[in-house]
Amino acid sequence: MDLGLRDRTVLITGGSGGIGRELVRAFAAEGAQVAFTYHADDRSARTVEEETDGAVRSFRYAMNEPGAGVRLVGDVLNWGGPVQVLINNALSPMSPPDADIGKLERFPWRESLRDNIESAVELSGAVLEHMGEAKWGRFVHVSSSLVAQGKRGFEFYTTAKAALHGFSRSLAFSAGAMGEILSNVVVLGLTRTARNVREPWYPEYREEFAALSPFGDLVDAADVARMVVMLASAQNRVVTGQEVDLSGGVTW
């Protein structure tokens, strides 16, 4: 099936590892021109470029810096033309497990909001003009099942991600009035990635999530990437303004 992504410019934030790495591979496999950001790990970014067939380019950016979105879109424009697909995926730090909502000074909660919602809004606004001119575009925003589940110590992270859901829903209406421009959120649970399996907490969390899943296992990062590509493709013309659950049935 032709997904209509060949030669389209796709921008993925946080593409040097984890789910982002699989997203880069999946879009490149469809013939898209894939630009992705990374924060600091030059080696991982180069590895993704070298191991992925097709037109792939990494951009080192701290997306939480004011104005970063506008500068990034300008750089991508010079490299591959106007962005037609934006995947807001950048991984941002969560609050520590012992975060105390009564002692905000112990955790930089404003930075959490900046990382998880403000940067996504800024970047979305920076590419919307180009999508409007083409009368075609796709936004996919990566979120977490923790928004619905809740978890001790994740107050700031889930606040920002919940705001991302509201932003995407309204963006679907405003962008949709400009053409075939769709905006959706994908909601992830604990996902099997090369990065996660190396973490010391992974065995315990894997057991917890797998026990909640109808098929008794975690969703793989490659499975997530395939679904995101479909949502961002020309084959999808009607799914917009939605929260698409990719947690493997852990949430509903």
Residue 221 confidence (pLDDT) above 70: yes
Percent of the chain, pLDDT > 70?
Answer: 92
Output the pLDDT for position 113: 81
**pLDDT higher than threshold 70 for residue 92:** no
201 domain residue, yes or no: no
What confidence score (pLDDT) does residue 99 get? 56
Residue 197 lies inside a defined structural domain of this protein: no
- Token look-up 């037609």 returns 84
Reported confidence tier of residue 102, pLDDT bands at 50, 70, 90: low
pLDDT higher than 70, residue 154 = yes
More confident residue, 215 or 181: 181
Model-level pTM?
Answer: 0.91
Q: What pLDDT is recorded for position 158? A: 87
Task: State the pLDDT at residue 91.
Answer: 65
Q: Is residue 60 part of a domain?
A: yes
| 150: containing domain | 9-188+229-240
Partnered with residue 88 across adjacent β-strands are: 141
Average pLDDT over residues 144-162: 85
Check pLDDT > 80 for residue 161: yes
Q: How far apart, in Å, are the Cα atoms of 105 and each of 12, 111, 150, 224?
A: 32, 12, 22, 36
How many domains does the chain divide into? 1
Give the pLDDT score at 190: 87
Mean pLDDT over each residue of the chain, to the nearest integer: 90
- Whether 128 has a pLDDT exceeding 80, the answer reads yes
Asked if the structure places residue 107 within a domain, the reply is yes
For residue 161, give the CATH number of its domain.
Answer: 3.40.50.720
pLDDT, residue 11, reads: 98
Residue 79 has pLDDT above 80, yes or no: yes
Burial of residue 228 (number of CB atoms within 10 Å: 0-12, 13-18, 19+): buried
Q: Is residue 98 part of a domain?
A: yes
Is 204 part of a structural domain of the chain?
no
Q: Say whether pLDDT at 148 is over 90.
A: no
**Residue 95 in this model has a pLDDT that exceeds 60:** no
CA distance linking residue 32 with residue 132, whole number of Å: 19
**Res 196: pLDDT:** 83
Write the pLDDT tens digit of every residue in 18-60.
Answer: 999 999 999 999 999 999 999 888 999 999 999 888 899 999 9
Assess if residue 252 is contained within a domain.
no
> What does each C-alpha distance from 120 to 50, 78, 124, 248 come to in angstroms?
27, 21, 6, 25
Residue 215 or 239, more confident? 239
Q: Is residue 196 part of a domain?
A: no
Question: Given pLDDT bands bounded at 50, 70 and 90, which one contains residue 62?
Answer: confident
pLDDT band at 94 (very low <50, low <70, confident <90, very high): low
